[in-house]
Amino acid sequence: MSVEHVAQAPNAASGLRRDVTVWGSYMWGYADVGADVYVALGLVIAASQGYAPLAFLLAGLVYIMIGLAYTELAATYPVAGGGQFFAMRGLGDFWGFVAGSALLLDYTIDIALFSVASAGYFNFLVELITGLNIGGARFSLGSLEVQAFWLVETLVLIGCLIWLNIRGIKESSFVNEAIGVVAIAVQMGIVFAGFILAWHPDLLVQQWVQQAPTLNQFMYGSSLAIISYVGLESISQAAQETRRPATVVPRTSISLIFTVFVFAVSFSSLGLGILPWQVFGENVGNPVAKVAEAIPFLGVIAGPLSAALGASILLISANSGVMSASRLVYSMSHFGLVSNWFDKVHPRFQTPVRTIVIFSMFGVLQTVLSFLTPSAMDTLGNLYAFGASLGYLLVFAALVRLRFTDPYSPRAYKMPINWRVNLGGKLVDVPLLGFLGMLGVGSILFTVVLTHEIGRIAGPAWVLIALMYYWFYRRRQGRPFLGSAERDWEGSQKAVLESAEEYELLEEYKAALSERDKREAVRRG
């Protein structure tokens, strides 16, 4: 079989521009992950009750391992596609497509969920100022009661994000950076002011002791807590458009990992030390605003400010969903996993306009369907964890296998705690945390299937329908369904490092390949 064009460097003349800076890379991740607590806080506390901080902590420990794995892989293979590309590179085309379809489900839900939540915080702000509960207004649609005004607001927001992303990642990244810096400052202010002025540790302890959830409730809450940490993938999705990614990605990813972990655990502990957990259950659409509003002296300002901030940062999180979904399908098209019809960029803006529009429309469809259920937020949150946990499980498997199959690619960052073994004269570091991460993510996936009534049906159904398309497309192209097309990975890796201006790593890679070739020549005698 001949080497296919899909293995060529993704940064060809018609490819994506490297317009993302260090701060922009950090903000792409923060826009997606940093906003998650604004959604997850209410959902997780409503489910886990007094044990919510423990749920966030356990999910956070798994998230740290996920983050370290993504940091290594994104710095080593800085191309669009993220987890889908890593799974394809390490496990083959079939598993790369499975990972891609699972993560694509997450990205489209990301667009829907965070746009809904953004409009929810905006409606909370309107109610504080005018007393009008516009978000809660319901209209009859046959036998259904639909929050039509909230739905329309959400659809308008998604339309604006589509336009913004077509304009270009530089413009889209600027929006993230401008809002993100304010968001971090205000979040830190709420946490510090809340602990100093309003936090009552006795209330936290009381709820821990007297408001314990059942095992099933805690498992459900813990699986929802992963929502607080989904989104680090955005940094790897933007790696192909990041300048000097091998240098930038480790710095931004590790900083982001610990920033978000601290915020998630802090907000859950702060919230249960200020308000009863039932308040969060009644306000799943604006939990952070309720915490800020309860702070003495500052609440009259902090409440509206956090609501405005929540609306803004959740909007840029939805913006990251649009970017990630479009780049993921762009990468899958480039490597022959889906039709090359998607492998086209706008002639003027150099953005993948077709993937931006089409998969944002999936977010629109999910939004409309979720508003036909009793709670749009809960329905979308119920779906969210399946795709992430399945995709992350395959990423860990790819990380471990790539350590053995591709020990020659320079790793500017390497996941810590390794066991060094000799593999045919080449020393290989076996990532012990990678195996632990697989166990952690696998347990989350099991919990999702066990406790998420919607996710355990809709999630596998999405992947199954995607695989039906994959079988049909690969058959038409004459490519194997379970096998992989032959690709010049080494040539592609050289081209990627050159396009990223990582010249030292390129020379290191060439030297490693040359040394390998010499050893093989000696072995052949």
When pLDDT is cut at 50, 70 and 90, the band that residue 168 belongs to is low
Answer yes or no: is pLDDT of 20 > 60.
Answer: no
Given a contact cutoff of 8 angstroms between Cβ atoms, the answer to whether 154 and 165 are in contact is no
Q: How far apart are the first and last CA of the chain?
A: 28
Mean pLDDT of the chain: 83
Q: For residue 132, which phi and psi values (nearest 5 degrees)?
A: -95, 125
198-255 pLDDT, tens digit per residue, is 999 999 999 999 999 999 899 988 888 887 776 666 666 555 556 667 777 787 778 8
The region that residue 432 occupies, defined by phi over 0 for left and psi between -120 and 50 for alpha, beta otherwise, is alpha
pLDDT value for 11: 44
What is the mean predicted confidence (pLDDT) over 284-297? 86
Burial 461-500 (b: 16+ CB within 10 A, else e): ebbeebeeebeebbeeeebeeeebbebeeeebbbbbbebb
User: Distance between CA 190 and CA 141 in Å, rounded?
Assistant: 40
User: Distance between CA 214 and CA 340 in Å, rounded?
Assistant: 49
Answer yes or no: is pLDDT of 410 > 70.
Answer: yes
- Report the candidate in 137, 142, 144, 114 with the shortest Cα–Cα distance to residue 372: 144
Residue 371: strand, helix, or coil: coil
Total residues belonging to the chain: 525
When pLDDT is cut at 50, 70 and 90, the band that residue 10 belongs to is very low
- Sign of the alpha-carbon dihedral angle for 71, 323, 110, 331: negative
113-146 pLDDT, tens digit per residue, is 889 988 888 888 888 788 777 766 677 666 677 7
pLDDT value for 5: 43
User: Distance between CA 345 and CA 439 in Å, rounded?
Assistant: 39
User: Distance between CA 279 and CA 260 in Å, rounded?
Assistant: 24
366-387 pLDDT, tens digit per residue, is 999 888 887 788 888 878 788 8
pLDDT value for 2: 36
When pLDDT is cut at 50, 70 and 90, the band that residue 520 belongs to is confident
Answer yes or no: is pLDDT of 350 > 70.
Answer: no
DSSP-assigned letter for residue 431: E
- In 104-150, DSSP assigns E strands to 139-141, 144-146
Answer yes or no: is pLDDT of 393 > 90.
Answer: yes
395-407 pLDDT, tens digit per residue, is 999 999 999 999 8
Residue 142: strand, helix, or coil: coil
DSSP 301-366: HHHHHHHHHHHHHHHHHHHHHHHHHHHHHHHHHHTTSS-GGG----TTT-S-HHHHHHHHHHHHHH
Share of the chain above pLDDT 70, in %: 85
pLDDT value for 178: 66
pLDDT value for 97: 96
pLDDT value for 430: 92
User: Distance between CA 517 and CA 41 in Å, rounded?
Assistant: 54
User: Distance between CA 60 and CA 181 in Å, rounded?
Assistant: 23
- Report the candidate in 231, 468, 491 with the shortest Cα–Cα distance to residue 338: 468
Most confident of 16-20, 188-192, 239-243: 188-192
pLDDT value for 207: 95
Rg (CA), the chain: 23
User: Distance between CA 472 and CA 488 in Å, rounded?
Assistant: 25
Answer yes or no: is pLDDT of 101 > 90.
Answer: yes
Say if strands 418-423 and 144-146 run parallel, antiparallel, or are unpaired: unpaired
Given a contact cutoff of 8 angstroms between Cβ atoms, the answer to whether 45 and 198 are in contact is no
Show Cβ contacts of residue 498 under 8 Å, excluding neighbours closer than 6 positions.
9, 506
pLDDT value for 230: 67
Q: What is the pTM of this model?
A: 0.83
Q: Which position has the higher pLDDT, 396 or 184?
A: 396
Share of the chain above pLDDT 90, in %: 32
pLDDT value for 48: 93
pLDDT value for 3: 39
Show Cβ contacts of residue 451 under 8 Å, excluding neighbours closer than 6 positions.
216, 219, 220, 223
Q: Which position has the higher pLDDT, 494 or 422?
A: 494
The region that residue 323 occupies, defined by phi over 0 for left and psi between -120 and 50 for alpha, beta otherwise, is alpha
Most confident of 14-18, 33-37, 459-463: 459-463
The CATH superfamily of 19-337+354-475 is: Amino acid/polyamine transporter I (1.20.1740.10)
Answer yes or no: is pLDDT of 417 > 50.
Answer: yes
User: Distance between CA 379 and CA 387 in Å, rounded?
Assistant: 14
User: Distance between CA 205 and CA 220 in Å, rounded?
Assistant: 22
Number of Cβ within a 10 Å radius of residue 80: 27
pLDDT value for 75: 86
| Least confident piece of the model among 229-233, 333-337, 493-497 | 229-233
Show Cβ contacts of residue 60 under 8 Å, excluding neighbours closer than 6 positions.
225, 228, 229, 261, 264, 265
Given a contact cutoff of 8 angstroms between Cβ atoms, the answer to whether 147 and 371 are in contact is yes
- Report the candidate in 101, 104, 96 with the shortest Cα–Cα distance to residue 77: 96
Domain coordinates of the chain in residue numbers?
19-337+354-475
